[in-house]
Amino acid sequence: MSYRLLLLGSNENLIKEFLSGKTETLECLTSSHHIPDIEGHLKYFEPDAVVLCLFKVKQFDIVNLDEISAILRNKDLPLITIGNAFSCGEFERASRVLVNLAIQESDNMQKVFNQIFFYIRQQKVTQQQRQQQQEIRFGISEQPVDLEVHPDQENKKRILVVDDDAVIRTLLQKLLGKKYDVTTVASGREALSFLEVVKTDLVLLDYEMPEENGAQVLLQIRERQGLMDLPVIFLTGVSEKEKILEVLSLKPQGYLLKPIQPADLLREIGSTFNEE
């Protein structure tokens, strides 16, 4: 899965970082600030977000911005700004434009890429839910949506499912998605990237995965500042005593063997969140 970014702004070095960045999740294209150029790129490139790369907040960064912002709102596209603390602060003071996501420039561009990727991904999920709600109201949805069980996304506990089996990820998304904010990834690397930028309340972690097994991923989670106390529940088909002891030595919140019984999983999650 990858998303497209349309890059604007006067920070040429930052734009080069985006264009030369080794990422398979973001495809980037630059544009001038001329409205016809931007409209052409929006039509033919079809970006998922527009990124304004700030250097110094000059008139060049502000010109046409109100009109650009109106175009983005009409297309339901997010505006993301990125720059150092000074330029971001000056831009906020000099502009009345609504910024959906503001990011401070970092030496770790991969972290910036991840933050943008997961933000867009969450926006897509929210847009899809909103569209389904509209469709069900007008009686055109083929996939019924129970509007009564979808509280605001911000009020839901966020669960990250880490499993290389697409079937398991889909099943857990359906089982848990009505009550919790669920994101699924297929590897430990993706999980660690997600956890760096998105506050998460619980991880459901498989043991047998390519590249790194669940125990190795949990060890890296425990070593990272801010994640040491993050609850983790293992969901795995591994039953060998040595591997189970390896997992238990890392003190996960819970351990469930596959095939998982939905009632057991829901009970384990409820206990983790102190739900009645």
Give per-residue pLDDT as tens, 229-263: 899 998 877 666 677 777 777 788 888 888 888 89
Q: How many CA atoms lie within 13 A of 194 on its CB side?
A: 24
What amino acid is encoded at 235 in this protein?
Answer: L
Q: Using one digit for the tens of pLDDT, what is the confidence trace for 47-65?
A: 999 999 887 655 445 567 7
Can you give the pTM of this predicted structure? 0.55
Per-residue pLDDT at 139 exceeds 50 = no
Per-residue pLDDT at 99 exceeds 90 = no
CA distances from 84 to 14, 87, 116, 161, 221 (A): 11, 5, 16, 33, 28
Q: Using one digit for the tens of pLDDT, what is the confidence trace for 114-128?
A: 999 999 998 888 777
